[in-house]
Structure 1
Amino acid sequence: MRFVTFGEMLLRLSPVEHRRFLQADSFEAVYGGGEANTAVSLAQFGCDTKFVTKLPDHEIGQAAINTLRQYGVDTSEILRGGDRIGIYYLEKGAAQRPSKVIYDRAGSSIAASKAEEFDWERLLSGTDWFHITGITPALSAECAKASLEAVKTAKKLGVTVSCDINFRRKLWDKETAGKVMAGILSYTDVYIGGRDQAEELFGIPTNASDDSDYEAYKAVAEKLKERFGFKKVAITLRTTLSSDENKWAALLYDGTNHCFSREYRSLIVDRVGGGDSFAAGLIYALGEGMDTQAAVDFAAAASCLKLSVEGDCNIISADEVKALAFGSGSAQVQR
């Protein structure tokens, strides 16, 4: 199968060793971004994966592209131009101190791009699966237009579309996000979202008594499918115990079966990209023809393993995910 993702590639700058921004005298640089992270994960699973974006035609833009190439992502359709790459600063939390993100991405090459720069008929020709998130349409009105045109074209060409809501309050308000994303979701086959995003953006109440109230999430999945006509609805169930430890599980609903993954309790090396790796795991599993239970088990295991990997991207193979999802799950040294 051939996969295409579309979004912004960012430069991430982080103080070293859990230092706060105010303590930092140096920053660690890595590259990533929602759809780029998903593309890298799919490439690690052995998939033919292309990433579409626009990056400045200078050395920093090239360094971002080189990161994708390093991990096997097809970068042949990345546009070059514009003035800058988007930046985000990440202060890693510890214990009860939360992580913090400061964006410096206004006017980035993709945010300043025009929708007509992306020829979706050509870009999606011969593609089996297209993936996008709610981050890309939040960047600008033109990015929202390009995102909608992409999913419309994908639907016309018979390409499966997945969308991870990924609502970012620092990029747009929930009223605008709900309106724009509703349009994109009307062309989406596989919905991916966090536990509360359906209520935030679409007014579908969760009504969960606590984190273990799985019946409430079943109802949310059913209402989402009823409203938008999705083939599959995935809801991630992340519980933050501290900045160092999360509980992670997920639900996948196929219109008949509500399947929950096992719940993982994970110590965190790097939290960023956990949702992107879940999306990649789900896309891969469904593309491989796994049934609903196996698909959500694979996706949840992929995201659990990502929490152990530094940087935005999940440098984990499909076999490693399968060993956790369907094997013993032992973390013993492999000799």
Structure 2
Amino acid sequence: MAKIVTMGEIMLRLSTPGNEKFIQADEFDINYGGSEANVAVSLANYGYDTEFVTAIPDNPIGDCAVAAVRKYNVGTKFISRSGDRLGIYYLEPGSAVRPSNIVYDRAGSSIACATADLFDFDAIFADADWFHFTGITPALSDSAAKLTEEALKAAKAHGLTVSVDLNFRKKLWSQEKAREVMTNLMQYVDICIGNEEDAEKVLGFKPEGSDVMSGNLELAGYMNIFSQMADRFGFRYIASSLRESHSASNNGWSACIMDGKTKEFYHSKKYTIAPIVDRVGGGDAFTSGLICSFLDGKDMKTALEFGTAAAALKHTIPGDFNLVTRAEVEKLAGGDSSGRVQR
């Protein structure tokens, strides 16, 4: 069985109950999550050996974050207990025409202050097959960006397949800084994943004719930018989730992928997700599904359908983690979206 390593920040999530606004809330619901941790949990649920690498303060809140992923059989032995604080994010869930809102309180977090000497990358990657990171980690700080590159160099030296979710976060860094840092990191990447905003803001590729706010998706634009990205960076595969935001409660969801060598392009089936329970982690569920399927030896079309179905299911689950099984994803990908009670 293959082993996957992910590296990034896990945070304490404080969300308002129900659909309350921040100003209404007298209490918060507690969860833990973060893009790379979410991917590790999903892959562990699919039966793969996973290892999550991060830095967490050596205090009871740090213990809770470790326990949150360990509960789902994610490896934690390479987590550095260092730094002074765990990052926090506050979530105000949206509804109907009111969008969700996120406020970050993560400056100076343990992983943002971490350096490469805290991690034995030779040991971390010694028996691993795949390394996954996102554009969030290098956005945290200059030291986190340097840490990410050191991890990538070590992963490639050990012969791992490397995937990235571009994940542009405008509240963390500017478009210009993102392009400068992430363009350099693409030299280590085999599989590139991101939505239309990520491709434009992070790498400078914009799919012409698409407007996700109006629900208009022009697939020819994606084919064009995927081909350009493959030519420039040599990606093995390029994939994008396609979210049509009709409202905070009602989204269309599909995805597309291209083989970087043959330029074969494929668009998945589309799901209508309404009402949405929790959209946080949807992209991570998509990424996890792709990785799982590729490690299973599936072709890119099957992989895309599995990843798209996994992400659709994540929208029905509270919290950051996607806790569905392979069987549940395969059932939906196979066409059963009835939602009938299982007895």
1:35-59 alpha-carbon deviations (Å, 9 max, x no partner):
0001000011111000000111111
* Structure 2 residue corresponding to 1:270, chosen from 275, 278, 284: 278
Tell me, yes or no, if the aligned pair for 1:93 and 1:100 is still in contact at 8 Å.
yes
User: Per-residue displacement from partner, 1:59-102 (whole Å, max 9, x unpaired)?
Assistant: 11001111111111011111112111000000000110000000
Give 2:78's aligned residue: 77
1:231 aligns with 2:232: no
Q: Which runs of 5 or more structure 1 residues have no equivalent in the other structure?
A: none
The alpha-carbon distance between structure 1 residues 261 and 143, as it changes in their structure 2 partners (threshold 3 A), is same
Contact 1:208/1:217 (<8 A) preserved: no
When residues 181 and 327 of structure 1 are mapped into structure 2, their CA distance, relative to the original with a 3 A threshold, is same
Q: C-alpha separation between the residues in 2 aligned to 1:223 and 1:329? A: 35
Task: Report the more deviating stretch, 23-32 or 206-215.
Answer: 206-215
Sort the Cα spacing of 1:46 and 1:230 in 2 relative to 1 into closer, same or farther, 3 A: same
Residue in 1 that maps onto 2:5: 4
Is the counterpart of residue 301 in structure 1 residue 309 in structure 2?
A: yes
Q: Is the 8 A contact 1:99 1:243 kept in 2?
A: yes
State the partner residue of 1:285. Answer: 293
Q: Structure 1 residue 333: deviation in Å?
A: 1.1
Partner of 2:179: 178
Query: Quick one: which amino acid aligns to residue 202 of structure 2?
Result: L
Match of 2:90 in 1: 89
Q: Give the match for residue 313 of structure 1.
A: 321
State whether residues 88 and 105 of structure 1, in contact with CA within 8 Å, keep that contact through their aligned partners in structure 2. Answer: yes
The answer to whether 1:108 aligns with 2:145 is: no
Q: Secondary structure at the match of 1:239?
A: strand
4+ residue runs over 4 A deviation: none
In 2, the alpha carbon distance for the partners of 1:243 and 1:150 equals 36
Closer/same/farther in 2, CA of residues 209 and 63 from structure 1, 3 Å limit: closer
1:326: which partner in 2? 334
Segment of structure 1 superposing worse, 305-314 or 106-115: 106-115
Comparing 200-209 and 235-244, the one that deviates more: 200-209
Alignment length (residue pairs): 335
Distance 1:242 1:300 in 2: 19
Deviations 1:8-31 (A, max 9, x none): 010000111110000110001100
TM-score (norm 2): 0.96
3-state SS of paired residue (1:61): helix
Distance 1:311 1:76 in 2: 24
Are the aligned partners of 2:166 and 2:202 in contact in 1 as well (CA < 8 Å)? no
**2:135 matches 1:134:** yes
Within a 5 Å distance, the mapping from 1:186-265 to structure 2 comes to 186-210=187-211, 211-255=216-260, 256=262, 257-265=264-272
Distance 2:203 2:134 in 1: 16
AA matched with 2:164:
C
Contact 1:21/1:91 (8 A) holds in 2: yes
Q: Distance in 1 between matches of 2:12 and 2:206?
A: 36
Show the counterpart of 2:25: 24
How much has 1:196 moved relative to structure 2?
A: 2.9
Aligned to 2:16: 15
> SS state of the match for residue 246, structure 2?
strand
Q: Distance in 2 between matches of 1:244 and 1:185?
A: 34
Distance (Å, rounded) in 2 between the aligned partners of 1:128 and 1:245: 37
Runs (5+) with no aligned partner, structure 2: none
**Whole-angstrom distance in 2 between the partners of 1:6 and 1:135:** 10
The alignment's TM-score, normalised by the length of structure 1, stands at 0.98
- Give the match's secondary structure for 1:186: helix
Aligned mates of 1:201, 1:64 — CA distance in 2: 29
State the distance in 1 between where 2:256 and 2:157 align. 29
Compared CA separation, residues 209 and 274, structure 1 to 2 (3 A): closer
Change (3 A) 1:209 1:181: closer
- Shift of residue 327, structure 1, vs aligned partner: 4.0
Moved more, 215-224 or 91-100: 215-224
Following TM superposition, by how much is the alpha carbon of 1:212 offset from its aligned partner in structure 2, in angstroms? 3.0
Find the residue that maps to 1:196 and give its secondary structure.
helix
Q: Distance in 2 between matches of 1:170 and 1:140?
A: 13
Query: Equivalent residues in 2 for 1:146-157 (5 A)?
Result: 146-157=147-158
